């Protein structure tokens, strides 16, 4: 989905620093708590280049981020927490579902490759160890 890319681009435009959009995308994560937003951007990497405290960077950055997908941004500690507009995200998801129809949610990674499944059968009277995984 392109929502994360749109958020990463908005963050990138807000920082105007040495991080690339790809690096910003790699750093974006989900907040630990749901009430902290939909996506979160840690400012520790920026603190190294800007030589400022990450919480100060997060506070300033949260005020500079704008995008049609973003409802609001909040600085919580060293993180910029992004709240997405539900209507915009919902429309994007439904559009993708309708476009892909029966193929939505399917993937092709691993296709044509061998998958190894190992079923161990340990002796319940003894502790399980790595020796149980080795073949004779």
pLDDT at 90: 92
Domains and their CATH numbers in the chain: 1-122 (3.30.1360.70)
Residue-level pLDDT at 58: 93
Q: What is the pTM of this model?
A: 0.72
The predicted pLDDT at position 82 comes to 96
State the pLDDT at residue 15. Answer: 85
Which residues does the chain have with pLDDT short of 50? none
Q: What is the pLDDT of residue 86?
A: 94
One DSSP character per residue, 46-89 reads HHHHHTS-HHHHHHHHHHH---TTEEEEEEETTEEEEEE-HHHH
Give the model's pLDDT for residue 133: 64
């Amino acid at each position: 989905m392109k929502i994360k890319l749109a958020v990463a681009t908005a963050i990138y435009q807000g920082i105007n620093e040495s991080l690339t959009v790809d690096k910003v995308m790699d750093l974006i994560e989900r907040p630990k708590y749901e009430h902290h937003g939909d996506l979160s951007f840690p400012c520790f990497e920026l603190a190294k280049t800007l030589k400022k405290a990450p919480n100060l960077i997060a506070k300033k950055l949260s005020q500079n981020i704008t995008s049609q997908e973003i409802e609001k941004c909040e600085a919580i500690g060293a993180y910029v927490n992004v709240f997405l507009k539900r209507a915009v995200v919902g429309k994007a998801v439904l559009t993708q579902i309708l476009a892909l129809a029966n193929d939505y949610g399917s993937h092709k990674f691993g296709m044509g490759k061998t998958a190894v499944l190992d079923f161990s059968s340990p002796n319940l009277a003894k502790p399980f160890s790595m020796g149980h995984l080795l073949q004779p």
